[in-house]
Structure 1
């Protein structure tokens, strides 16, 4: 059948989003716009935020105390002597406020459980939350890095010790990806024409980055499918044995399928790495905190893997732009740099000469920091210090939540939304230990086959354009989904974020999806069958 929106098929889903929102806001039924196209959660983690603002008020008092002889409105750098005692007294004076109890517990926890001196810790957080100094070290504040390492070890299922890897605090996961690709190019790890593999379906921009002119990489897809539980088959993973593939780019748990890699996949990738020891793995594990017993490739293949983690989704903090890059101290990229030819070494010496006399010993993660500020501005690099403190407080909150009460609540919220959505579609959501459910893909063919029959499903596959379907439910009902094929899915589908609307609204989305399939069945399929 003729498509009404064929011109949009080549657009990225996130470019299509604004057109769909515009169509949905003018929908024929006059319904409230339901935008399930973007994964910004409508829940936030409040206790660490309360603590952040209470600490901020204490830090301002400390600043004003330093310059108390001056007129009001002017403060100085907080005095270090006696600062812990003053913070404890501040907590006593303000114990009725939520967030104060958390601060008191955090001071006890970091000393008792992590072995961090509370005086040094208090000095760091008070000065940092004021933002009165540059980030020093620029890569990440020292004690903040130690706490975040413990958090990642807990949440990413890591078997590393904190002294085995380094962190770079960055402005969210997207900044992390940009920095990594740019530094790999600058350091001759990736050159134009090189092959990179990416697990699909995948977050669309990650598929677009390698194809940009400044990279011009050859992209190879490692495919997963609903039929295989959104896991990679051994046959697909064996593509990684090709020595020409320099990097395997993986989102785990996946986006949009929202499924974590199972043990078979993890073990198979480890086996492949043993045969292709130069392979670099870049894993984005932002949704790992929503999974049951999550294990990152960073733990399975530590020498080969760069971990990117963002606090955006789990803590409802997309606007904070909090992310980290983790790289083991002993890693494949540093070893690759050592093996570069003399001409390449000479060029890198010129690039990083302003940072150190011994460029050969400059670690890749420190090159990342420098490259993020075009090297010359390395001294002003680093994530803002108040951002780092909010990251620190989120981390401590999770570490102290030994019963995972917060995790249980947010997972339950998402699972309930998933359940009501699929109930309206005449079935139930798939459930197994690998499914995270932050997103889901509503497969047109699969759902049509279940609601009616296999013949109708096949007819949908051959006659209905995915983009048309997505636009139709926006224009008719005011529901915005993103097209699954735009994320590399082989089948026509709509991606639904289960994080950003209320439960009753997901029931409405399920009903709308079914209503449109009913309409097509009665007005197009049945007529074509006569």
Structure 2
């Protein structure tokens, strides 16, 4: 028995060391195999990864129709060659030929959207329709390198307008910001950590702060020997609606903290930071003007009246945004990094010691005649291609075109019809899940976003059954036991909340990637498992807790 227990503890230790995204694979294996007999029609319900099962169709239709038009333009050149050789689009008469294409294809999905997009670019943004069409055609054909490398010229303006609408809204914002189009939010994280290190904004032994719970890589990257950073955790409180207390935010006042990274709305609780907390952080920045902030706002477009930290403290904040979740485009790998043109990063680089600046001068002198004046965001671009390959840097142009069409789709949707449809979809799923588990469903928290929900078993268990029950379960179960039992016995896959920095045993449920009936099945499986633990507790302690009590 002792050997068996030791082996089990060893396996548990190995599993505990895994990232939740790697542990997910083990849970999937458990859900797909093993000795448990299952009916042939029982499908695995994977609510682990947050890949949505919805996507924006209109801008995709527009993308394919634009591609057909661009191909027609390409085939106007070298038409005398029968071997399938085309050329670049011609600027002269492009707008007129596009209008003819629209008339010829009237009623085809995507055509009305393209007509509206060109009108919006011309009439609302004041840009040249011809220049826009040429950039889009050349981009979708992928017939040229990305020039400028940070982002195509008009594409940057249009995506910038989208970010103003979704991340800043009606909040007053002075000045302009630059964008770098990147391969999704994960590439943004990789590039930012690397360039901050290369430019001595953070170095080994420095201290950064993380707002937890948080997307796991933000926890894991600082530990790598590439960075070797010390971390101060700011922990949101489940009992306070996953908000940060003043005491937690006050940790940012410590001058040792060089940077603060957060995901807003949070992952996995899916709660946006309250207005009061955002204002507190902005006030701390006024006291600590050298504090660097990074806000990853991928889920902001699912929130009501979202305002980014980038709006309140623009000079100190790096904004990361990904199109993956809102538009159902994880496979496209579309993201942006934004920095204000007057920012603390450039100032801190300018204030570095002479010997450090000399080394940085040598690092970037092959790509500019004035390397000392190279902006942080342009250093990101260069470092993303190890500097020496800066001339081929930049996100592929078809990706940028799809990013632009997604942005225009949102900008043109003035009543937010698409956004409201997604909100209804995921909130109905949450209601279905909570009803089956037996959790009181409350919709009165304006900060709830609900892309995910985090089932904190310590909080829910104590609320329903008391502290003794929670302590007994914690003492008598392995940390991931419930998750593996759900996988083996009910074929339900959730991610462990502990991997995201939550202090309590919990499971993350993505509300984006299954249908409403599936969430009811997941809720039933969780309820059944909880009832069994209540029965075991009653048998072990002689108490009579009601296993059907509402959590």
- TM-score, length-scaled by structure 2: 0.94
Give the corresponding residue for 1:95.
106
Distance 2:280 2:331 in 1: 37
Distance 1:162 1:72 in 2: 54
1:464 deviates by 3.0
1:456 deviates by 2.5
Give the corresponding residue for 1:444.
457
SS state at 1:9 partner: helix
1:445 deviates by 2.6
Distance 1:336 1:450 in 2: 48
Distance 1:295 1:40 in 2: 24
Give the corresponding residue for 1:125.
136
Distance 2:532 2:266 in 1: 32
1:96 deviates by 2.2
Give the corresponding residue for 1:496.
509
Matched, 1:275 2:284: no
Give the corresponding residue for 1:11.
18
Give the corresponding residue for 1:410.
422
State the Cα deviation string for residues 318-377 of structure 1 (Å, max 9, x = none).
Answer: 000000000000000000000001100110111000111211111111110000001111
1:104 deviates by 0.5
SS state at 2:484 partner: helix
Give the corresponding residue for 1:59.
70
| 1:329-478 map, 5 Å | 329-431=341-443, 432-478=445-491
**Alignment equivalent of 2:60, drawn from 49, 53, 58:** 49
Give the corresponding residue for 2:257.
245
1:70 deviates by 1.5
Distance 1:44 1:86 in 2: 30
Unaligned 5+ segments in structure 2 are 543-551
Give the corresponding residue for 1:37.
48
Distance 2:157 2:321 in 1: 15
1:196 deviates by 0.6
**Alignment equivalent of 1:108, drawn from 119, 137, 145:** 119
Distance 1:416 1:358 in 2: 55
* RMSD of aligned Cα (Å): 1.5
8 Å CA contact 1:370–1:378 kept in 2: the answer is: yes
State the Cα deviation string for residues 283-315 of structure 1 (Å, max 9, x = none).
Answer: 100000000000100000001000000000000
Segment of structure 1 superposing worse, 31-40 or 441-450: 441-450
8 Å CA contact 1:26–1:478 kept in 2: the answer is: no
Distance 1:232 1:405 in 2: 32
Unaligned 5+ segments in structure 1 are none
Give the corresponding residue for 1:142.
153
Give the corresponding residue for 1:83.
94
State the Cα deviation string for residues 216-275 of structure 1 (Å, max 9, x = none).
Answer: 000111100211111111100111111111110010000001000111100110111111
| 1:82-231 map, 5 Å | 82-158=93-169, 159=171, 164-231=176-243
8 Å CA contact 1:203–1:256 kept in 2: the answer is: yes
Distance 2:464 2:377 in 1: 52
State the Cα deviation string for residues 127-167 of structure 1 (Å, max 9, x = none).
Answer: 11100000000000000000000000000025476961000
SS state at 2:480 partner: helix
8 Å CA contact 1:252–1:260 kept in 2: the answer is: yes
SS state at 1:115 partner: coil
1:428 deviates by 2.9
Report how many aligned residue pairs link the two structures: 529
8 Å CA contact 1:444–1:460 kept in 2: the answer is: no
SS state at 1:156 partner: helix
1:11 deviates by 1.5
8 Å CA contact 1:201–1:223 kept in 2: the answer is: yes
- TM-score, length-scaled by structure 1: 0.97
Distance 1:187 1:454 in 2: 49
| 1:281-360 map, 5 Å | 281-360=293-372
State the Cα deviation string for residues 431-467 of structure 1 (Å, max 9, x = none).
Answer: 3110000111112233334554554234324433331
Give the corresponding residue for 1:510.
523
1:427 deviates by 2.6
Distance 1:266 1:526 in 2: 45
SS state at 1:246 partner: strand
Distance 1:454 1:426 in 2: 19
Distance 2:510 2:339 in 1: 30
Matched, 1:480 2:487: no
Give the corresponding residue for 2:268.
256
SS state at 2:262 partner: strand
1:32 deviates by 1.2
Change in Cα spacing, 1:413 to 1:333, as seen in structure 2 (3 Å) is same
8 Å CA contact 2:181–2:334 kept in 1: the answer is: yes
Matched, 1:21 2:28: yes
